[in-house]
Amino acid sequence: MINRRELLKQMAWITAGSAMANHASAFVSDVKNKKIGVQLYTVRNEISKDAKGSIKRVAELGFGEVENFGYNGKFFGMTPAEYKSLLGEVGLTAPSGHYMYGNFGNRQIPGTILYGWEKAVEDAKAIGQQYMVVAYLMPEERKSIDDYKKIAADLNKAGEICKQAGIQLAYHNHEFEFEGMGGQLPFDILTKETDSKLVSIELDLYWASFANQNPVELFNKHKGRIALWHVKDMDNTPKRNFTEVGNGQIDFASIFKNAKASGMKHFFVEQDVCPGSPFDSIEKSIGHIKRNLVNYL
């Protein structure tokens, strides 16, 4: 006969096993339901010819989320209501979108940090965006460290406006933020002189790697702040060109394993230049991610 101590021990193991099974089930369910996104800039030429058809094709390839670009008062020629309706019809959401700083050329460019930002935030909220991302700084906007300090101050102001609408502002890097200027790194200025609660980071994994930065080290340095990723690969040629995810030299397995340190909430496949049809390229990328990477999340 099993004594009380042995019975309790067996019951404890059964309870623990049940909890582990439930945890594993929840994890598998979360991975299964993880939506993979794409930055629509990848299919920009196709969108310019047929926006609705191109966005529908993206959904058919298995993507669940898109990141917008090119907002100018409308989304690809559509009002917020029209665009939101299209996304709903094809089963997509747009949690994020790209915007410009706005201090170049004709400064009266709607939907930039410096001009018409309140309307851009209003429209982003209308389509359900959770993030608004500063996509790129033009060369004339970033000539000095003082320029970056001014940009950081403006990002804080823009981030406060976003916060009031329930949206998070973020900044997307290229390689130049990691190039020394006046003995400092612009990336350090942008992260140190912005409020981490108002300005998150969208880390472009390709451009960080191109600048010889280790993405995982950046995750650990800025724990929980790197909420968005651009997932694009780098080929093994001396020029280190863009290529499909899984076709190059970036160690995505290590990166995805460290998603928790990053604080990653969404990630988007992007390929600035494709060898053929961008739809073929993003199809290859999403296939590799589904087969080899999502299970690390």
Q: What is the pLDDT of residues 231-248, one digit of tens each?
A: 999 999 999 999 999 999
Task: Please choose, from the candidates 64, 54, 69, the residue with its C-alpha nearest in 3D space to the C-alpha of residue 272.
Answer: 69
Is 228:200 a contact under the CB 8 Å cutoff?
Answer: yes
Q: What is the pLDDT of residues 35-56, one digit of tens each?
A: 999 999 999 999 999 999 999 9
Q: What pLDDT shows up at residue 106?
A: 66
Q: Residue 104 has what pLDDT?
A: 86
Residue matched to tokens 């959770």: 130
Q: What is the pLDDT of residue 108?
A: 72
**Bigger pLDDT: 165 or 106?**
165
- Mean pLDDT score of the chain: 91
pLDDT tens-place string over residues 105-151 = 766 778 999 999 999 999 999 999 999 999 999 999 999 999 999 99
Residue 35 carries which DSSP code? Answer: P
Contact (Cβ atoms closer than 8 angstroms) between residue 71 and residue 99: yes
Lowest-confidence pick of 1-5, 140-144, 166-170, 186-190: 1-5
pLDDT > 80? residue 34? no
Residues of the chain with pLDDT > 70, as a percent, come to 88
Cβ contacts of residue 32 below 8 Å, gap of 6+? Answer: none
In this structure, the dihedral spanned by the alpha carbons of residues 186, 260, 30 and 253, taken in order and rounded to 10 degrees, is 80
Q: Could you tell me if 61 and 286 are in contact, meaning their C-beta atoms sit under 8 angstroms apart? A: yes
Classify residue 146 as exposed, middle or buried by CB count within 10 Å of its CB (0-12, 13-18, 19+).
Answer: exposed
Q: Model-level pTM?
A: 0.89
